Amino acid sequence: MRLPVLYVGNRNYSSWSMRGSLLVRLSGLEYQEEVIPLYMPEGRERLLEISPSGRVPCLHIDGLRIWDSLAIAEFLHERFPAAGIWPADPAGRALARCISAEMHSGFTGLRGALSMDIRASQPKTDLPEVVRSEIRRIESIWQDCREKHGAGGDFLFGQWSGADCMFAPVVSRFRTYGVGLTGAARRYADAVWQRPDVQGWVQAAAAEPWEIDFNHPGGVRARLRPDAGRI
Rule CB under 8 A: which residues touch a second copy?
A: 52-53, 55, 62-71, 74-75, 78, 90-91, 93-95, 97-98, 100-102, 104-106, 137, 144
Task: Please say which residue, 11 or 97, places its beta carbon nearer to a second copy.
Answer: 97
Q: Are 146 and 156 in contact (CB under 8 A)?
A: yes
Whichever of 96 and 204 has its CB closer to a second copy, that residue is 96
SS3 state at 123: coil
Order of strands, sheet of 58-61, starting from the edge strand that comes earlier in the sequence = 32-35, 5-8, 58-61, 64-66
Residue 139 in 3-state DSSP?
Answer: helix
Q: How far is the CB of 92 from a second copy (least distance, A)?
A: 10
- Cβ atoms of residues 18 and 43 within 8 Å: no
Residue type, 218: G
Q: Which is nearer to a second copy, 95 or 170 (CB)?
A: 95
- CB-nearer residue toward a second copy: 44 or 137: 137
Q: How far apart are CA 198 and CA 15, in angstroms?
A: 12
In the complex, the smallest distance separating the C-beta of residue 197 from a second copy, rounded to whole angstroms, is 23
Residues 160 and 195: beta-carbon distance below 8 Å: yes
Shortest distance, position 216 Cβ to a second copy, whole Å: 18
**Least gap, CB of 108 to a second copy (angstroms):** 8
